[in-house]
Amino acid sequence: MENIYSKNDERSTVSSPWMSLCSLDSGDGNPQSPKIPDWVIKVLQQSKRTLVATRTDKKSISQLCPLFLEKAIKQFGEVNDIVRRKDGTMLIEAKDNTQAEKLQSINAIGDCEIKISLSTAQNTCKAIVYDSDMIHWDKEKLLESLADQGVTEIHNVKTSPRNNIHPNRSRNAERTSTPTFIVTFNRPTPPQHLKVGWLTIPTKEYVPEPIRCFQCQRYGHFRTSCKSTAICSRCSEPEHRPGPCKQDYKCINCEGSHSAAWKGCPVYKEELEIRKIGHRFKIPLLAVKKIYKSY
């Protein structure tokens, strides 16, 4: 897989959370400080300047008049960016850490109570564990017993039978449990292992797969919200079901000679690296992607 360092050849050595998450070996057994590309350094610098605004009544903050929102925010100066999100929250990028701290003091817009804070992801994390016997354990009892280790949720990854001719049918088929579990913790970083009775189960960093639309084959959204024309994942032409496509491969994302679903696609790799950095440093993906695209 293409390394994130390939984004920019100019590298710097910095002290950051990155140090605790990766290291390089000099070849003689002595670890060296990792070389951090400029775009990742910028992500780290921005990590404490990206805020999320929410309403305490759980309604969409976008329903508030943008004039009042702007007035409340601008009392602390101009911000770099404000973005509405589909989940009803608002992403605010402050100019610096001082401004970010001041913005977090805003608790109301008119009669509406709001909260501006670092993303809740700052205090949570996920990890992957593999254990085939775990499928048979009582989930509620397991959650209760792991609460003192910070576990708040356990999700079993399930798969559907593959059906290349009728993919819609395969997605609606009965899903089968796998030995893979995604565990959520109420802490910034996951432990190296879970202790379940006498068992010690190692954990692995969780990075969700990039989202690819099965309608237009582009990344970043689901088919349910796509308004584009349906595209064949094999040849990039307008979809021509029924029956499997026999045209030459052409990826709609990079125009390479492969399917849009191929995980070796350079665009897929780019999306995956953006997600790795976003989840590793608890920064909204939209903010990470904006920095990545600017380099």
Asked which of 93, 121, 149 is the last residue of a domain, the reply is 121
Half-sphere exposure of 114 (CA within 13 A, CB side): 27
Same domain, 86 and 138: no
Distances (CA, A) of 236 to 138, 164, 170, 231: 45, 16, 22, 6
Whether the CB-CB separation of 283 and 50 falls below 8 Å is answered with yes
Question: What local confidence, expressed as pLDDT, does residue 155 receive?
Answer: 94
CA–CA–CA angle 218, 156, 222 (5° rounding): 15
Residue 18 belongs to a domain = no
Which range of residues forms the domain containing residue 187?
123-205
* 3-state SS assignment for residue 152: strand
> What is the tally of structural domains in the chain?
3
Whether the CB-CB separation of 6 and 279 falls below 8 Å is answered with no
Same domain, 115 and 130: no
Residue 86 belongs to a domain = yes
Same domain, 112 and 166: no
Same domain, 59 and 115: yes
Residues of the chain below pLDDT 50: 1-34, 163-170
CATH code where residue 196 lies: 3.30.70
Residue 62 belongs to a domain = yes
Residue 63 belongs to a domain = yes
Same domain, 116 and 132: no
> Could you report the per-residue pLDDT of 165-206, keeping only the tens digit for each?
444 444 556 778 899 999 999 887 889 999 999 999 999 989
Same domain, 102 and 133: no
For the whole model, what pTM was predicted? Answer: 0.60
Mind giving me the DSSP string for 39-99? HHHHHHHHTTTEEEEEETTSS-GGGS-HHHHHHHHHTT---SEEEE-TTS-EEEE-SSHHH
> Could you report the per-residue pLDDT of 236-272, keeping only the tens digit for each?
999 887 778 989 999 999 999 999 999 999 999 999 9
Asked which of 72, 101, 121 is the last residue of a domain, the reply is 121
Residue 256 belongs to a domain = yes
